[in-house]
Amino acid sequence: MIMTRMQHPQKDAYNLVLEAIDRGQFQPGDKLVESELAEQFGVSRTPIREALQRLETQAVLKRDGRSLFVASLDHDQLGELYVVRIELEGLAARLAAQHAAPEEIRVLWEMVRKDQGLTDRPDLLARTNRRFHQQIHLASHNRYLVQQLETVRRSMVLMSASSLVAEGRIGQALGEHVAIVQAIEARDGAAADAAIQAHLSHAFETRLKLDAAVTAPVGG
CATH of the domain at 108: 1.20.120.530
* 3 belongs to a structural domain: no
What is residue 3's predicted lDDT score, i.e. its pLDDT? 41
By C-alpha distance, which of 75, 67, 35 is closest to 214?
75
Domain end, chosen from 24, 45, 70, is at: 70
Answer yes or no: do 112 and 209 share one domain.
yes
- Domain annotation covers residue 58: yes
How far apart CA 33 and CA 151 sit, in angstroms, is 24
Q: Tell me, yes or no, whether 64 and 90 share the same domain.
A: no
Q: Which domain holds residue 91?
A: 75-215
Domain count for the chain: 2
> pLDDT digit string (tens) for 50-76?
999 999 999 899 999 999 999 988 889
Query: Is the predicted pLDDT of residue 141 greater than 60, yes or no?
Result: yes
In a domain, 32, yes or no: yes
Which tens digits make up the pLDDT trace of 150-191? Answer: 999 989 888 866 777 676 788 999 999 999 999 999 999 999
Query: Domain containing 61 — which CATH number?
Result: 1.10.10.10
Q: What percent of the chain has pLDDT over 90?
A: 68
Same-domain status, 66 and 83:
no
DSSP string, 1-55: --------TTS-HHHHHHHHHHTTSS-TT-EE-HHHHHHHHT--HHHHHHHHHHH
For the entire predicted model, the pTM comes to 0.81
In a domain, 43, yes or no: yes
What are the C-alpha distances in Å from 43 to residues 27, 53, 99?
22, 16, 40
Is residue 8 in a domain?
Answer: no
Whether 110 maps to a domain, the answer reads yes
Given pLDDT bands bounded at 50, 70 and 90, which one contains residue 11?
A: low
